[in-house]
Each structure stands twice: as structure tokens, then as C-alpha cells.
């Protein structure tokens, strides 16, 4: 009888070993594919179990994005709140359940949720995991200057447009405003998103969610002349004093309308005339 028992024992052990093999399959090979499936809510919920890093203005004190803790069904979840209500909204963006993420909340998501590949982050997160503590993301300090941003936003109030102030030495963005703006706290509120969409502004569509400073499409106009002028002066071919008459240089490629030629007006006689080279200033009038 012992031979049969041994055989049945072997069979039973094989059955259980098969379970280990199957578990290995689902937790290693198949794991990545399942995590990204549309109907898998675990990742979507798990992102709210992480205490996202805070977002500060350049002074390191003004909190632009904070967390509120809520207990739901035995687990603690962290949701975003924006204490400054519509300050640099398009830059900071939002992190919500209903409409995912936008702006810096989206761009810096891995940093804010401590899932980036930085060694410090990995060590901190591992420490949190081992201690069983809530995973806490990295804080983000922006270059945005509260004062400059406030001025830019107040100047744009009631208008449609954007304003940006940069530190030319470092490229740091000191202010980036886009109008009309919105309160990111509204997005998770019932009908809040509709209210944002219904924002009244002198342009149509008002599109308050659009960051006009980075996403708005505007013709560059004469601003690009700075570059050509700088290059010309750099070459030494042109001097500040030299006046050149530029003939018609561009032809519209639009087929439906008649071909138009664009004539560049060179400043000739008057100090007040448009200056085609931005580097020349009005205080140095040309040889009239």
C-alpha cells in the first residue's frame, strides 16, 4: 500500500508545485501587461495611496499643491487640494480621479509620487515600504516668483492671452500666466468641470484649461527678428548704424488668394518709424 501512497503523495505535491509555477507566471511575466489594462483599477487607486509631494513657489514657503487625507473603506487615500485657488493653474495643472492629470502634476508625476529612478528616491521609498509607512513623494520647488506671477495674472485679468518672464541667465521661469484661468479645486467637484468650461472671456472658446504660454499657437510676429539681427551683428557684416532696404522677400503660398508680397519697411526718415532691427534703439537714429 505504501507504493500507492507515495505515488499519490507525489501527485499531490506536483499539484501544489503547479500553483507556485502559476503564481510566478502572473506575478512576473504577466504582471506588466495586466497592470496597464483599461479595466484594472488597482493602479488608479494605488496612486492615491501615495502621499504626493507638495509643490512650492520659489520662496519655498508658499504651498501651491497640498494633500487632504481621507479614509475610504479601510484604506487611507490622499487627494490633491490647491490652497491658492487658481494661482498659476495651467502651470501646476491638477491631479484628480475624474480627469487624470495635467501640467506639472502630469509632467513631474513620477517625481511627485516617488516612482522615478533617482537613487535617493528609490532608497527613501524602499525605507517607507520596509517600515510599512505611507509612501511619500518628493516635494517640488518651482522657480515661479509669487509676486511676479501675481502681477502677470492681475495684468491679464479679464483678457485672453499669456505672459512669461524668464531669467535670461538661467532660463528659469519667474512668471507664466495664461488668461482666462480656473480653480483646479473645482475639477473634482460635481459639475465643477462644466463650470470651468463655461468660463466667460473675451475670446472664443475661452479654454481656461489651455496654457496659452506653452500651448497657444500664435504667429511669432517680429519677435524672431531679434535672432536674425543678432546673427547679422555678430558676423560683423552689419553695424548698428547701417540701414538696408529690404525688398519684397516673402510670397504667400496660399493658393486661394492672390499672391501678396510683403514689403519690409526700413526706417529711413523718422525716428519714430518701425524699427526692423530690434537691436537698434530709438535713441540711436540712423543716418537719416
Partner 1 sequence: MLVLVETNDMGSGLLYFGIFLAMLYIATARVSFVAAGLGLFVAGGFVAEREIGHIHERVTIWLQPWTTQKFFCASTGEYTLRQDCQSYQIVKSLYSIANGGWLGTGFGKGTFTDTRGHNLIPYVNTDFIYSALAQELGLIGSSALLLVFMLFVARGMKIAIQVDDGFSKLLAAGLTFAFALQTFIIVGGVLRLIPLTGITLPFVSYGGSSVVANFLVLAGLLLVSHRANSYA
Q: Binding marks (x or -) toward partner 1, 244..263, rule CB under 8 A?
A: --------------------
Nearer to partner 1, 40 or 270 (CB): 40
Minimum Å gap between C-beta 251 and partner 1 is: 51
Catalytic residue among 100, 154, 222, 244: 222
Q: Does 287 bind partner 1 (CB under 8 A)?
A: no
Neighbour count for residue 79 (Cβ, 10 Å): 15
Pairing, β 161-166 against β 140-141? unpaired
Interacting positions 79-98 with partner 1 (CB under 8 A): 97
Asked if residues 58 and 143 have their Cβ atoms less than 8 Å apart, the reply is yes
Minimum Å gap between C-beta 75 and partner 1 is: 6
Q: Binding marks (x or -) toward partner 1, 122..161, rule CB under 8 A?
A: -------x--x-----------------------------
What is the rounded distance in angstroms from the CA atom of residue 229 to the CA atom of residue 244?
A: 12
Q: Does 118 bind partner 1 (CB under 8 A)?
A: no
Asked if residues 179 and 200 have their Cβ atoms less than 8 Å apart, the reply is no
Asked if residues 125 and 136 have their Cβ atoms less than 8 Å apart, the reply is no
Binding footprint of partner 1, residue count (CB under 8 A): 47
Question: Is 222 a known active-site residue?
Answer: yes
Under DSSP, the state recorded for 98 is S
Nearer to partner 1, 39 or 234 (CB): 39
Asked if residues 263 and 249 have their Cβ atoms less than 8 Å apart, the reply is no
Q: Of the candidates 69, 72, 106, 242, which one interacts with partner 1 according to CB under 8 A?
A: 72
- The alpha carbon of 134 is separated from its chain's Cα centroid by a whole number of angstroms, namely 26
Q: Does 119 bind partner 1 (CB under 8 A)?
A: no
The C-alpha cell that represents 131 in the structure block: 517600515
What is the rounded distance in angstroms from the CA atom of residue 135 to the CA atom of residue 148?
A: 34
For the chain, give percent helix, strand, coil, nearest 5.
35, 15, 50
Q: Give me the active site residues, please.
A: 222
Q: Which residues bind partner 1 (CB under 8 A)?
A: 1-9, 11-13, 15-20, 22-24, 26-28, 30-31, 34-35, 37, 39-46, 48-49, 72-75, 77, 97, 129, 132
Amino acid at each position: 500500500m505504501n507504493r500507492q501512497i507515495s505515488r499519490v503523495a507525489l501527485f499531490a505535491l506536483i499539484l501544489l508545485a503547479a500553483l507556485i509555477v502559476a503564481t510566478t507566471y502572473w506575478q512576473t511575466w504577466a504582471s506588466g501587461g495586466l497592470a496597464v489594462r483599461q479595466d484594472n483599477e488597482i493602479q488608479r487607486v494605488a496612486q492615491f495611496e501615495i502621499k504626493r509631494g507638495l509643490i512650492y513657489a520659489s520662496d519655498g514657503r508658499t504651498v501651491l499643491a497640498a494633500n487632504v487625507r481621507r479614509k475610504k473603506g479601510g484604506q487611507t487615500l490622499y487627494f490633491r487640494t490647491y490652497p491658492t485657488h487658481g494661482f498659476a493653474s495651467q502651470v501646476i495643472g491638477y491631479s484628480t480621479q475624474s480627469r487624470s492629470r495635467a501640467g506639472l502634476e502630469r509632467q513631474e508625476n513620477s517625481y511627485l509620487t516617488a516612482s522615478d529612478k533617482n537613487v535617493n528616491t528609490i532608497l527613501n521609498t524602499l525605507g517607507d515600504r520596509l517600515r510599512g509607512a505611507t509612501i511619500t513623494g518628493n516635494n517640488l520647488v518651482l522657480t515661479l516668483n509669487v509676486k511676479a506671477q501675481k502681477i502677470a495674472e492681475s495684468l491679464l485679468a479679464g483678457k485672453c492671452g499669456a505672459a512669461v518672464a524668464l531669467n535670461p541667465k538661467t532660463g528659469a521661469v519667474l512668471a507664466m500666466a495664461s488668461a482666462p484661468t480656473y480653480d483646479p479645486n473645482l475639477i473634482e467637484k460635481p459639475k465643477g468641470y462644466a463650470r470651468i468650461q463655461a468660463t466667460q472671456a473675451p475670446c472664443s472658446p475661452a479654454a481656461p484649461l489651455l496654457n496659452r504660454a506653452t500651448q497657444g499657437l500664435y504667429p511669432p510676429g517680429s519677435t524672431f527678428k531679434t535672432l536674425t539681427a543678432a546673427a547679422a551683428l555678430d558676423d560683423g557684416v552689419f553695424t548698428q548704424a547701417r540701414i538696408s532696404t529690404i525688398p519684397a522677400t516673402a510670397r504667400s503660398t496660399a493658393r486661394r488668394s492672390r499672391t501678396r508680397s510683403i514689403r519690409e519697411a526700413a526706417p529711413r526718415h523718422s525716428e519714430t518709424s518701425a524699427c526692423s532691427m530690434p537691436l537698434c534703439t530709438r535713441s540711436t537714429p540712423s543716418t537719416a
